[in-house]
Amino acid sequence: MLLAGGDLIQSFNVPNLWKESDLNHILGDFGCLIIERTGADVHDFLLTNDCLFRHRKNVMVVKQYIHNDISSTKIRLFVRRDMSIKYLLPDAVIAYIKQHGLYLPPPV
């Protein structure tokens, strides 16, 4: 199952970013769990995107009751810029990211 934020789901409409056949395979065979994001109208997008609508029985949306704009994109950006992610992720996840050198810019 694809786990995605509402912001990622909107990228389904970006020309040449996703193959229609890939979306049909992912959504049709595995499904999608969408986490609402502030500023992304997931429910409207579900109605207007043909592929998501076609596979709507395989799509679940997690309602955002508390404003939270933490995203994997922001986490990767913070790590690349050597900014603290201390209160954004559990300590074990932060340790794993550091141990494996994830999200760092390539050496120059």
- Taking only the tens place, the pLDDT of each residue in 13-56 is 999 999 999 999 999 999 999 988 877 788 888 899 999 999 99
- Asked if 75 and 34 sit in the same domain, the reply is no
Pair 25, 57: CB distance under 8 Å: no
pLDDT at 73: 86
- Asked if 55 and 81 sit in the same domain, the reply is no
Q: What are phi and psi of 65, to 5 degrees?
A: -90, -25
Dihedral sign for Cα 23, 26, 29, 33, please.
negative
- Asked if 11 and 56 sit in the same domain, the reply is yes
The model's pTM: 0.69
Cβ-Cβ contacts under 8 Å for 27 (sequence gap 6 or more): 2, 51, 52, 54, 55, 58, 59
- Asked if 8 and 55 sit in the same domain, the reply is yes
- Asked if 54 and 32 sit in the same domain, the reply is yes
- Asked if 54 and 75 sit in the same domain, the reply is no
Provide the residue range defining the domain that includes 92: 70-108
3-state secondary structure of 2: strand
Mean pLDDT of the chain: 91
Confidence of residue 71 (pLDDT cuts 50, 70, 90): confident
Please determine, for residue 90, whether its predicted confidence score (pLDDT) is greater than 90.
yes
Q: How far apart, in whole angstroms, are the C-alpha atoms of residue 63 and residue 83?
A: 29
Mean pLDDT, residues 47-67 taken together: 91
- Asked if 43 and 83 sit in the same domain, the reply is no
Place of tokens 């890939």: 22
- Asked if 7 and 41 sit in the same domain, the reply is yes
Q: How far apart, in whole angstroms, are the C-alpha atoms of residue 85 and residue 23?
A: 32
- Asked if 87 and 57 sit in the same domain, the reply is no
Please determine, for residue 5, whether its predicted confidence score (pLDDT) is greater than 90.
no
